[in-house]
């Protein structure tokens, strides 16, 4: 990543747990300024995090990303308080344990994994353009290689639910598809956007249903690396010379499935953003 007299600043969604927390720690240790957008706060007993907050190296904003009535004022706070962003890490996510819907009426994983990163990019574009790196890294997954059928129309209200390899994988695929489709336009505005797979990481948390199939959990506990591994992959994705729109797996560019649907997914993101976030302060449920 470029170095100059201007401190580099990253915004990380989901910065207080798992990969996001390890990415936050890594950037803080390297002297970055970190803007954290989180639903729940950092733990009070994390001394290094609390010290970073005290000296304002870490600045925390709170919102439920899947609820636009919560997300919109948080973004407005960020735009009013922050001068620039060098790297936007759209990292928040997770595999849901059951079919659920957002306050806007769409499947919760679609809202969080596919639509919200688009909202974040569009709303924070001006801050990115004031930065140095002007980079967006969308956290995706290789799990979508198991997706055998892909219908963008079903993303918002799927006909069935399957842990990890159903809506989770499909909505992450949709994220990488619109990332690929929007990349030329973003590049023309001086922004490089890409998606990256942080790989399998042991992000299991006690007392929380991970949404993983039962047979994956023992493998995760025994075989998967700690979330610092995934954080490192996202960090290096931001620092890489990968072409705009790339999907990175272990630092290598990989092809996307169902690429013919990329523009259709992007057009849906644009329509939802215009209808529910950009042009109308009222939050209207999806129909």
pLDDT at 175: 98
Q: pLDDT tens digits for the chain (287 residues)? A: 554 557 999 999 999 999 999 999 999 999 999 999 999 999 999 999 999 999 999 999 999 999 999 999 999 999 999 999 999 999 999 888 899 999 999 999 999 999 999 999 999 999 999 999 999 999 999 999 999 999 999 999 999 998 888 999 999 999 999 999 999 999 999 999 999 999 876 555 565 555 665 455 556 555 666 789 999 999 999 999 999 999 999 999 999 999 999 999 999 999 999 999 875 444 444 43
CA distance 60 to 28: 13
pLDDT at 217: 53
Strand partners, 252: 249
DSSP string, 155-210: SSS-SS--TTTTHHHHHHHHHHHHHHHHHHHHHHTT-EEEEEE--------TTS--
For 190, list phi and psi in degrees, rounded to 5.
90, 10
pLDDT at 281: 46
174: nearest Cα among 115, 89, 228: 115
Assigned CATH for 9-199+228-278: 3.40.50.720
Ranges of each domain in the chain: 9-199+228-278
pLDDT at 223: 63
The two tokens of residue 57 are 């190296």
CA distance 193 to 42: 28
For 60, list phi and psi in degrees, rounded to 5.
-110, 130
| β pairing state of 135-139 and 33-38 | unpaired
104: nearest Cα among 66, 73, 70: 66
pLDDT at 216: 57
236: three-class secondary structure by DSSP: helix
Burial class (CB in 10 A: 0-12, 13-18, 19+), 188: exposed
- The whole-model pTM stands at 0.90
């Amino acid at each position: 990543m470029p170095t100059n007299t201007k401190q580099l600043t990253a915004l990380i969604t989901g910065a207080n747990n798992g990969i996001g927390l390890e990415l936050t720690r890594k950037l803080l240790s390297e002297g970055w300024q970190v803007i954290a957008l989180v639903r729940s706060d950092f733990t009070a007993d994390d001394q290094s995090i609390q010290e970073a907050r005290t000296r304002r190296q870490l600045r925390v904003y709170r919102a439920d990303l899947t609820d636009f009535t919560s997300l919109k004022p948080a973004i407005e706070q960020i735009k009013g308080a922050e001068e620039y962003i060098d790297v936007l890490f759209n990292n928040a996510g997770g595999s849901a344990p059951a079919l659920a819907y957002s306050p806007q009426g769409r499947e919760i994983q679609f809202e969080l994994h596919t639509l919200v990163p688009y909202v974040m990019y569009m709303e924070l574009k001006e801050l990115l353009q004031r930065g140095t790196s002007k980079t967006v890294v969308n956290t995706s997954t290789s799990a979508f290689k198991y997706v055998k059928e892909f219908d963008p129309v079903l993303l918002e209200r799927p006909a069935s639910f399957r842990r990890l390899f159903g809506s989770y994988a499909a909505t992450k695929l949709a994220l990488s598809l619109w990332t690929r489709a929007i990349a030329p336009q973003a590049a023309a505005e001086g922004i490089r956007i890409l998606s990256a797979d942080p790989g399998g990481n042991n992000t299991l948390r006690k007392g929380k249903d991970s949404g993983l199939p039962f047979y994956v959990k023992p493998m995760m506990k025994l075989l998967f690396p700690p979330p610092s591994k995934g954080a490192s992959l996202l960090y290096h994705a931001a620092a890489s010379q990968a072409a705009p729109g790339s999907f990175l797996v272990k630092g290598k560019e990989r092809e996307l499935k169902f690429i013919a649907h990329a523009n259709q997914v992007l057009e849906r993101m644009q329509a939802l953003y215009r209808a529910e976030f950009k042009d109308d302060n009222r939050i209207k449920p999806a129909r």
